[in-house]
Amino acid sequence: MPTASPRNPERLRPRGVALILVLIIVAAIFVVGLAAITAATSSSLSGSNFVDYATALQGAQSGVEVARRYLDHPWEAGLSWGQTWPGTGSYVAMPPPSDSPVALRDVYYTVTATSTLSATGAPAYLITSTGRALAPGGDPTGTTGATRTITAVFLQPAISLPNLITSTAGLYLPTNATIHGSVFCDQNAIVAAGAAVQGNLAAVGSITNFGTVSGASTTSCSTLFIPPVTYGQYTPTYSFGGATNTAVLLAGALLTGAPPLGMPNNPDNLFYSTTNFTLSNATITGGGFVTSGNLTLSGTVAITAPLGFPALVVGGDLLLNRNATLTTAGPITVARTIRMVNDDGSEVTDTSLPQALWTHTGPLLFTGPATFSAYSTINFTANYDATRAALQPVSHMPLPLPIVSYAEN
């Protein structure tokens, strides 16, 4: 019986090599696949991180815009004009987008605001706004989630009245008027004999000076924009404390003494009348008075407006009894003429009669066709005060806050 011949090693070698090559190829495919999975995972994580940080940046940017609004309109945050909004105090959640029923991230921001000075020394606000992006339900005060911070500096806003007296018409400064500040008018200016301007006098038209002007007298100026301070903006409602407040209507046509001060719905003590009115021996402390008609002042009258609000807005003539003593602080707007009158209301034309005495601190704006009467002999002393030169912006007069620096971290 023939015996079986042994296997030929030479014939088996190609099979072994082929197996090794297959194993090497499988291992290579595994390594490549693992690298691809790792790269995809890393790319997904990088993409997720990018989304988180971009979302957190949007939260920080939203905080900057919130700060811009409340610093420009402090009464919307429950503050008075001149008070600085301090910031949110804690994290505030942003509402989810309306086009997505399920929020992929919860977004928060927190803001601090402090008064500072810009690089040029101008009053400014330093804003630090931090945004955070978290998984839904996360804790914004925790350690997880993406965080971005923005620091910005805004210049403080103001409607500033640069002149002590500004007129949209021809200006007449009467005898016995002493003006400690600058004067501007959009037409011709006349300084009567005995009147004194301790400052500059500028006019779009001509200047006729029979008195004294210590500063420069400039003619042919460009027309000056005068911020509108009108009857309708301050009565019967005004913005304060984040709400619309109601000024108090004074009944009748006469007020003697003090009106009801400190009313909850009238925090800035603004009072108004819709007719001709008389203040006689009256005092308004930390408040102002607005009328659409003529206003007569007799006896001793003192009005001190809160910062940013007008002391008087007169839609008609401002009439001072020849025996009146008037002290005012705060911007005043008169739509027509300032005149001195007798007890019966007739204009005083006899300069030998006693003169009304008026001491005023703050800007005086004439918004109508006339200023002081040519017969006026009011002993008028006015003083410019920078703290009295700013007016609170009203609802349709927001002021942009110029930004002087911005940095994302």
**Residue 174: both structure tokens together:** 């009467």
Q: What are phi and psi of 116, to 5 degrees?
A: -150, -170
- The domain ranges of the chain are 52-157+399-408, 165-391
**Residue 78: both structure tokens together:** 């429950």
pLDDT-derived band at 128 (thresholds 50, 70, 90) equals very high
Contacts of 282 (CB under 8 A, 6+ apart): 255, 256, 257, 258, 259, 299, 301, 302
Residue 152 above 70 pLDDT? Answer: yes
Residue 236 above 90 pLDDT? Answer: no
Identify the CA nearest to 260 among candidates 273, 248, 276, 251: 248
CA atoms of 215 and 200, how far apart (whole Å): 4
pLDDT of the residue at 404 = 77
pLDDT digits (tens, 9 = 90+) for 341-379: 999 999 998 878 878 999 999 999 998 888 999 888 899
Identify the CA nearest to 372 among candidates 386, 382, 361: 382
Q: Helix or strand or coil: residue 202?
A: strand
Contact 121, 91 (CB under 8 A): no
Residue 242 above 50 pLDDT? Answer: no
pLDDT digits (tens, 9 = 90+) for 39-84: 555 555 455 677 788 888 989 999 999 998 888 777 678 776 556 7
Query: Beta 254-257 vs 277-285: how paired, if at all?
Result: parallel
Contact 256, 280 (CB under 8 A): yes
pLDDT digits (tens, 9 = 90+) for 213-232: 999 999 999 887 665 555 55
Number of other residues whose CB lies within 10 A of the CB of residue 217: 15
Residue 239 above 60 pLDDT? Answer: no
Burial readout 294-327 (b: 16 or more C-beta within 10 A, e: otherwise): bbbbbeebbbbbbbbbbbbbbbbbbbbbbbbbbb
Q: Which residues, listed in sequence order, are joined to residue 247 by a DSSP beta bridge?
A: none
